[in-house]
Chains A and B, each alone.
Chain A
């Protein structure tokens, strides 16, 4: 089994996570990638198996892309976003897992006089389905499909960028994840996803994109996401090592105008790379520890974030089985 969650890939702002609890999940509300990974030993939660995870993530940036221009802004200084993410996954059957999460977020700017924000962000619910499992000699090919839904859990204001808690919109996501493993030692994974984002409610009823718009409703651009990873299991299968890269491209949206604040209508493209370690502590039954680091390499209307995540997972059965 494996849990993975990694919060906030490069978002300017929004928190996100991706996680997998013995499965591949995609949980990233906003920016995130949601194509998480699933290491070898347990691709899915077993029937009636429960996984609980707690993750803490820090996302910091000093530079951001104003449209395509990479710049600093002393009135923001360094922007720090911390995400505290409780998450739970449960095996409905051995092929279908449900996952729920609710991140709590704080934001703060080291420069300027703008107040930070804090609060719960978006509630997320995901279903993950194991769709293919083919074994040929020492190779194992698997495919998964996930469907996700997210909705703001509080009345936080998305139109408070870059200090906002999230994008303030409902989202529906669909992802396909493919994984090829060699003898339970090495694996590669790739995934693609589509996130349909709804609208955010501003507290002003006029805003400008490339024209003046008289409403408090802002279209948040939908996006395509892609991920690729390679990984290995070491030290008697207790340590997982993985490197991966993730990209998101918005399918609509405007750019931040010169020296203006961002707004939820902006397109938000990001490309990031990083890695993770996961250790299954033999001395602590059912627990594992996770550490991750990702760096945004390129982007558009997003921060050039450096993201560190630490997490702990617990996994066990709700009911004792007779096995």
Chain B
């Protein structure tokens, strides 16, 4: 008996030790020196602000004033009392905290990307913005919702930093370490004027925007913002007045964005069954087919039938990029595509399976827009971008990706084209079929737009991101949930959408 206990003890210890493994919850990066400072960043053209000065920031007190000297003293003290836990915050946020807010947005997308479960009577409940805490929780962060969340967050961060840069170089208040020798910054000293704090702008914009889009996460987001605020002083980056000015500026910027969000049409995107049925019937009259959800019980409405009517950022109109109609269901072109799907499913290679799964980005994940933000993050770190350049990358990436989603959803519900499992009786898939029509492929449209923008911003990565986009498009065919023509039309559509974004980016004064 005793030896049994010994064996179990040894095993339990092994178990406990093996459980110490920690997997990454975000990008791993060490604080780095920024490749550039972009001193002229305050002159770049914002996305939504009419001018960098639209939100005013009061002049700071002089660095010789007693108030400022008191702030320096307080900063010195708080740095001296920093404990290990505080230092962990500095390591986590690093000197480019936008990356972390982007990861937080991805995590919230994954957390809320769950489709409502059916009621006992076979009907489905719907999330309600008015009662976000009642199941099914609001929001259902499906790919259109997530694309819009990333776009608002990133565009507001970018405008926030354009304004911050403007005031930083207008007031030119040196960083605390330049004003007190005893203050040795923990993060790389970048010679960036410290008033208003760019970090505080980012924290404040991010917490405001994300709290509006994920209302149940207000407390969690507040905690994150408070952690980041603490980090800004513990690292020696900012005194209290830098932070307060940044927070106020951030709030002003967020308000501009939230005003747009309240009237961009998103609240109507998840239409009634009547509207959804009329879209399907119009397609049936026009083309002779209509899409149906194939789940049991059948979902009465697909995801966001009117997302195609949401206000885009740079896309002039959905009609401008709407692809030609897909093949008729009894045509040779359709038969050809269906045959490819059947043959691919019958002879799926391990490599194809891997690609299908690697790109699945389905329910419970950060969605394809989240996947592309992850790639962008890797490039941002690799090329040591400063905060304003970082914000610019996310802003153009995500406005293009949302516009791609808008155009794609327009095509999806305009053409209302059946999925393979609907049009090919008995066809089985290795990926779950999403709850919206087939044509064009969302993955393909999102990915082509993202790849175009990232190719413009990181020309060295063009080959890689284009390969990714092609693979994302192919992955849906391997998974059995899209015909090849869905993917090809989606790639083309995404590229066209991104032309509008790149045109804007090329004229914003940054390049």
Residues on A lying within 8 angstroms of B by beta carbon are 71, 74-75, 111-116, 145, 155, 157, 159-160, 174, 176, 194, 196, 202-208, 211-215, 217, 219, 222, 251-252, 257-261
CB of B15, distance to nearest CB on chain A (Å): 5
Contact B25 A211 (CB under 8 A): yes
Contact B421 A260 (CB under 8 A): no
Question: Is B82 part of the binding interface, using a Cβ–Cβ cutoff of 8 Å?
Answer: no
A214 and B358 contact, Cβ closer than 8 Å, known pairs A222-B15, A260-B364: no
- What are some 24 contacts across the A-B interface (CB < 8 A)? A71-B117, A74-B296, A74-B297, A112-B295, A113-B294, A113-B427, A113-B428, A114-B430, A115-B345, A115-B428, A116-B428, A159-B357, A196-B14, A196-B15, A196-B18, A206-B366, A206-B371, A208-B107, A208-B111, A208-B365, A211-B107, A212-B366, A260-B363, A261-B364
Work out how many contacts link A and B, with CB atoms closer than 8 A: 111
Given A176-B7, A212-B25, 17 more contacts at CB 8 Å? Answer: A74-B295, A74-B296, A113-B429, A114-B429, A176-B4, A203-B358, A204-B365, A206-B110, A206-B365, A206-B370, A208-B111, A214-B26, A214-B374, A258-B136, A259-B116, A259-B117, A260-B364
User: Complex Cα distance A157/B350, Å?
Assistant: 10
Contact A214 B357 (CB under 8 A): no
The residue from B15, B110, B374, B427 contacting A251, defined by CB atoms under 8 A apart: B15
Question: Is B507 part of the binding interface, using a Cβ–Cβ cutoff of 8 Å?
Answer: no
Contact B296 A111 (CB under 8 A): yes
Contact B428 A214 (CB under 8 A): no
CB-CB < 8 A to A215: which residues of B? Answer: 23-24
CB-CB < 8 A to B24: which residues of A? Answer: 213-215
CB-CB < 8 A to B345: which residues of A? Answer: 115
Interface residues of B in 84-113 (CB under 8 A from A): 103, 106-107, 110-111
Q: Which secondary structure dominates where chain B touches chain A? A: loop
CB of A112, distance to nearest CB on chain B (Å): 7
Contact B23 A217 (CB under 8 A): yes
| Closest B residue, CB atoms, query A108 | B428
Contact B114 A155 (CB under 8 A): no
A203 and B117 contact, Cβ closer than 8 Å, known pairs A258-B135, A261-B363, A261-B364: no
Complex interface bits, B364-377 against A, C-beta within 8 A gives 1, otherwise 0:
11100011001000
Contact B21 A219 (CB under 8 A): yes
CB of A168, distance to nearest CB on chain B (Å): 13
Contact B114 A206 (CB under 8 A): no
Contact A208 B110 (CB under 8 A): yes
Question: Is B12 part of the binding interface, using a Cβ–Cβ cutoff of 8 Å?
Answer: yes
| Closest B residue, CB atoms, query A203 | B357
CB-CB < 8 A to A258: which residues of B? Answer: 114, 117, 135-136
| Closest A residue, CB atoms, query B432 | A114
CB-CB < 8 A to A71: which residues of B? Answer: 117
Contact B354 A214 (CB under 8 A): no
CB-CB < 8 A to B135: which residues of A? Answer: 258
User: Complex Cα distance A293/B375, Å?
Assistant: 51
Contact B8 A259 (CB under 8 A): no
CB-CB < 8 A to B136: which residues of A? Answer: 258
Contact B15 A259 (CB under 8 A): no
| Closest B residue, CB atoms, query A251 | B15
Contact B23 A213 (CB under 8 A): yes
CB of A239, distance to nearest CB on chain B (Å): 32
CB-CB < 8 A to A204: which residues of B? Answer: 357-358, 360-361, 365
User: Complex Cα distance A159/B431, Å?
Assistant: 12
CB of B461, distance to nearest CB on chain A (Å): 19
Interface residues of B in 123-179 (CB under 8 A from A): 135-136
Residues on B lying within 8 angstroms of A by beta carbon are 4, 7-8, 11-12, 14-15, 18-19, 21, 23-27, 103, 106-107, 110-111, 114-117, 135-136, 294-297, 345, 350, 353-354, 357-358, 360-361, 363-366, 370-371, 374, 421, 427-430, 432-433, 480
CB of B349, distance to nearest CB on chain A (Å): 11
Among B8, B116, B360, chain A packs the most CB atoms within 10 A around the CB of B8
A115 and B430 contact, Cβ closer than 8 Å, known pairs A194-B12, A204-B357, A260-B114: yes
CB-CB < 8 A to B358: which residues of A? Answer: 203-205
CB of A156, distance to nearest CB on chain B (Å): 10
The residue from A205, A211, A259 contacting B115, defined by CB atoms under 8 A apart: A259
Contact A212 B107 (CB under 8 A): yes
CB of A49, distance to nearest CB on chain B (Å): 26
CB-CB < 8 A to A145: which residues of B? Answer: 4, 7
| Closest B residue, CB atoms, query A202 | B357
CB of B432, distance to nearest CB on chain A (Å): 7
CB of B372, distance to nearest CB on chain A (Å): 12
A203 and B11 contact, Cβ closer than 8 Å, known pairs A113-B294, A114-B432, A212-B110: no
CB-CB < 8 A to A214: which residues of B? Answer: 23-27, 374
Contact A174 B421 (CB under 8 A): no
| Closest A residue, CB atoms, query B428 | A115
User: Complex Cα distance A258/B353, Å?
Assistant: 26
CB of A179, distance to nearest CB on chain B (Å): 14
CB-CB < 8 A to A116: which residues of B? Answer: 428
User: Complex Cα distance A219/B24, Å?
Assistant: 13
User: Complex Cα distance A202/B357, Å?
Assistant: 8
Contact A174 B117 (CB under 8 A): no
CB of A196, distance to nearest CB on chain B (Å): 6
Contact A174 B8 (CB under 8 A): yes
User: Complex Cα distance A244/B136, Å?
Assistant: 41
User: Complex Cα distance A7/B147, Å?
Assistant: 46
The residue from A113, A155, A219, A257 contacting B433, defined by CB atoms under 8 A apart: A113
CB-CB < 8 A to B353: which residues of A? Answer: 157, 203
CB-CB < 8 A to A211: which residues of B? Answer: 25, 107
CB-CB < 8 A to B297: which residues of A? Answer: 74
User: Complex Cα distance A257/B429, Å?
Assistant: 22
User: Complex Cα distance A289/B277, Å?
Assistant: 59
User: Complex Cα distance A261/B115, Å?
Assistant: 11
User: Complex Cα distance A6/B447, Å?
Assistant: 48
CB-CB < 8 A to A259: which residues of B? Answer: 114-117
CB of A83, distance to nearest CB on chain B (Å): 21
| Closest A residue, CB atoms, query B431 | A114
| Closest B residue, CB atoms, query A259 | B117
| Closest A residue, CB atoms, query B429 | A113
User: Complex Cα distance A203/B374, Å?
Assistant: 17
CB of B508, distance to nearest CB on chain A (Å): 31
CB-CB < 8 A to A217: which residues of B? Answer: 23
CB-CB < 8 A to B432: which residues of A? Answer: 114, 261
| Closest B residue, CB atoms, query A219 | B21
CB of B416, distance to nearest CB on chain A (Å): 19
User: Complex Cα distance A74/B480, Å?
Assistant: 20
CB-CB < 8 A to A159: which residues of B? Answer: 357
User: Complex Cα distance A259/B432, Å?
Assistant: 13
User: Complex Cα distance A242/B162, Å?
Assistant: 77
List 7 A-B pairs, minimum CB-CB distance, nearest first.
A74-B296, A203-B357, A115-B428, A259-B117, A212-B107, A208-B110, A113-B421
CB-CB < 8 A to A114: which residues of B? Answer: 428-430, 432
Among B11, B21, B363, B427, chain A packs the most CB atoms within 10 A around the CB of B11
Contact A213 B25 (CB under 8 A): yes
| Closest A residue, CB atoms, query B421 | A113
Contact B430 A160 (CB under 8 A): yes
